[in-house]
Amino acid sequence: MATKFEEAVRLYNMKRWDSALQTFHEVDASAFSPAEKMDLAYYLGLCYTKLERYNDAILYFEQVVTGDSGPLRVCQCRLTLAYIYMITNRPRMAEFELDRLIKNGFKSVQIYTMMAYAACMQKQFDRAVKMYEDALDIDPANSTAMNGLGFLLVENGTDIRRGLDLCKKAVEKHPQSAAYLDSLGWAYYKTGQLVEARQWLRRALDLAPRQKDISSHMKVIVANAS
C-alpha cells in the first residue's frame, strides 16, 4: 500500500496540483529523516509554484537551499527561485540565486540566459550581452541565447549586422516562435529593410496577436513606412 507521501507524489505527477498539495500537507513527517523532510519541502514548493502561490513556494524552497540537501536538489531549487523572482519582477533577487549557482560551480546555458534576462530587466545591457556570450560559449547553437544577444546588439546599435544574423539563426531553429520572429522583424527594421521587417512582424503578430511588444514594433514600422 502506498504511503501518504507516495500518493501525493503520484497526484503531483498527474498534474493534480490542488489534491497533491493537500495530500502533502497531510503527511506525518515526524519520523522522517532530514533528507525526507527536504523532499517534502521540495514538493510543497513545486505544488505552490504550479498553483502560482509564489510567496508560499519561496518559503519551502528556502528550506531546501538552507537545509541538508544534495547539490543537485539545491541547484533545482535555486533555479526555480530565480524563475519565481523574475516573473514577480524581482530581478536582483533572481540574480542573487543564479550568481550563487555560478560561484558553486554550476555553469549552464540556462543559468547564463536567465542571468542575461535578469540583467535586461535592470537595464544592465552590457552585462546581459556578456551573459548571452557566455551561454553561446557553452552552446553556440542555443536559440534562446542567439535571439537574446541578437536583439540586444540590434536594439543598442552595437553590432546590427551580427544581431540580424543571430536572429535569423534563431528563427531557422524555431520558425513558430513569435518572440524570435519579432526580434528578426525588429532587426530588419534597424537595418532599414522595412518590407522584410513588416513581413516577419506580421508573422509574429499572427502567432501572438495580444503581445504588446510585437504590436508596438509593428506600429513603429507602419508609421515609418507611410
Using one digit for the tens of pLDDT, what is the confidence trace for 11-50?
999 999 999 999 999 999 998 998 899 999 999 999 999 9
Q: Calculate what percentage of the chain has a pLDDT beyond 90.
A: 85
Residue 69's region, left for phi above 0, alpha for psi from -120 to 50, else beta, is beta
Domains of the chain: 4-161 (1.25.40.10)
Euclidean distance between CA atoms 220 and 136, whole angstroms? 31
Over residues 159-170, the mean pLDDT reads 96
pTM of the model: 0.87
Residue 149 and residue 132: Cα distance in Å, rounded? 6
Does the pLDDT value for residue 130 go beyond 50? yes
Average pLDDT estimate for 78-86? 96
Residue 2: band (very low, low, confident or very high) from pLDDT cuts 50, 70, 90: low
* pLDDT at residue 225 tops 90: no
Quote the CA–CA distance of 102 and 112 in Å, as a whole number. 9
